[in-house]
Amino acid sequence: MTKSSNVPVQANQTISMEESPDPPFVETYKDLFDTIHNENLDSNKYNDLFLVEECELPLINLHQLNYGDKFEREECKKRIAKASQEWGFFQVVNHGVSHDVLGEMKREQVKLFKRPFREKTNIDKNLNFSEGSYRWGTPTATCLRQISWSEAFHIPLSDVSCSKGLSSLSSTMEQFATTLSELAQQLARLLAEELGHHNKSNYFKETCLPSTCYLRMNRYPPCPISPQLFGLMPHTDSDFLTILHQDEIGGLQLFRDGKWISVKPNPEALIINIGDLFQAWSNGVYRSVEHRVVTNKVKERFSTALFLCPSYDTEILSCVEPSVYRKFTFKEFRQQVQEDVKKFGYKVGLPRFLVSSH
């Protein structure tokens, strides 16, 4: 077999490069793809990506929290806190985001991502998004396993509220983001109170601003050499908490009890996961869990997430003594993550900020 026959081709190879919606993964990472001929192409070596147990995340009905009696509300709060401690992930139904808004968000997202790649790279000005909001691949990748076979629009909430150009997308994004922001604030406040910090009920409202919280629309194109590549590399989220809506395709996996498990899709639910900042702020009570997205050979996957992030000068200080983590600002945390990714090809994260490491 020659080297050229080992190089994968785009799934939509019949579409001209000018009109293709897919980023030019193969062309951009050609040198890395050329190394495939030196590997054993037997995909059995990658079966750990798919031969994993499928699980149902803890499912919490927020109707009990918002409309239940006192006992039901307290029980619901305890379940949320327990899932945040034991899993770092849970899913919610009756979350306040209507089925119509979720469906319309997916439709608008699909339309946006189906635009030609060359058009998406210049779409910031048309939509009044911040420069660089469209992202794809992994610019720092030095090997195949560091490539994320995905593309995304990364949009600060302050841009969502003033976006223009595509009125139906803008209005849908605003509805979606507003409701998810309210839910994120409610859950963060609840988790603080469950730690006994009722005096911190306004902390997240005061620190997590529209300019630093953001919406991220994701598309994972079909990957011709799945499963050798990730849709998204293993990572933890660098925020307080994340709210995710995914489609029925699946692909999200999380690391639990020493093994990877696959999250069963539930289109009616929103997935909540704890981020690094909440783990540090709670002094390790709540867990920021490593997760990843695997690729699919024939199907594309869409998801949309809201990230609850503080302003860059916000100090993250453990609310329990003795503190496991030293005090740091969000800006310092982000800079350290970026330096590590550039140096090592992956994020180190919270271990950098352990008191015992100094």
Domain contains 2: no
Confidence (pLDDT) at 3: 37
Confidence (pLDDT) at 4: 38
Rounded average pLDDT per 10-residue block, the chain, 358 residues: 40 60 92 68 56 90 95 97 98 94 94 92 75 90 90 92 69 93 96 86 91 96 88 96 95 94 93 98 97 95 97 91 93 96 91 83
Among candidate residues 315, 313, 270, 239, the one with its CA nearest the CA of residue 105: 270
What three-state secondary structure class fits 250?
coil
Confidence (pLDDT) at 91: 97
Confidence (pLDDT) at 132: 85
Confidence (pLDDT) at 121: 87
Residue 251 sits in which domain range? Answer: 17-34+44-320
302-351 residue pLDDT tens: 999 999 999 999 999 988 888 999 999 999 999 999 999 989 888 999 99
Domain contains 347: no
Question: What's the CATH code of the domain at 49?
Answer: 2.60.120.330
User: Cβ(239)–Cβ(281) under 8 Å?
Assistant: no
Domain contains 64: yes
Two structure tokens written together for 319: 């609310």
Confidence (pLDDT) at 34: 77
Confidence (pLDDT) at 52: 81
* Tally of domains in the chain: 1
Domain contains 145: yes
Secondary structure (H, E, C), 78-135: HHHHHHHHHCCEEEEECCCCCHHHHHHHHHHHHHHHCCCHHHHCCHHHHHCCCCCCEE
| DSSP structural state of residue 325 | B
> Which residue is it, tokens 């490593």?
290
Q: Active-site residue among 107, 301, 326, 352?
A: 301
Domain contains 48: yes
147-157 residue pLDDT tens: 999 999 999 99
Among candidate residues 304, 156, 141, the one with its CA nearest the CA of residue 229: 141
The amino acid sitting at 266 is N
Confirm whether 79 is a catalytic residue: no
φ, ψ dihedrals at 273, nearest 5°? -135, 145
228-262 residue pLDDT tens: 899 999 999 999 999 999 999 999 999 999 999 99
Among candidate residues 134, 141, 128, the one with its CA nearest the CA of residue 116: 134
Q: What CA–CA distance (Å, rounded) separates 70 from 353?
A: 39
Domain contains 337: no
Confidence (pLDDT) at 284: 96
Confidence (pLDDT) at 32: 84
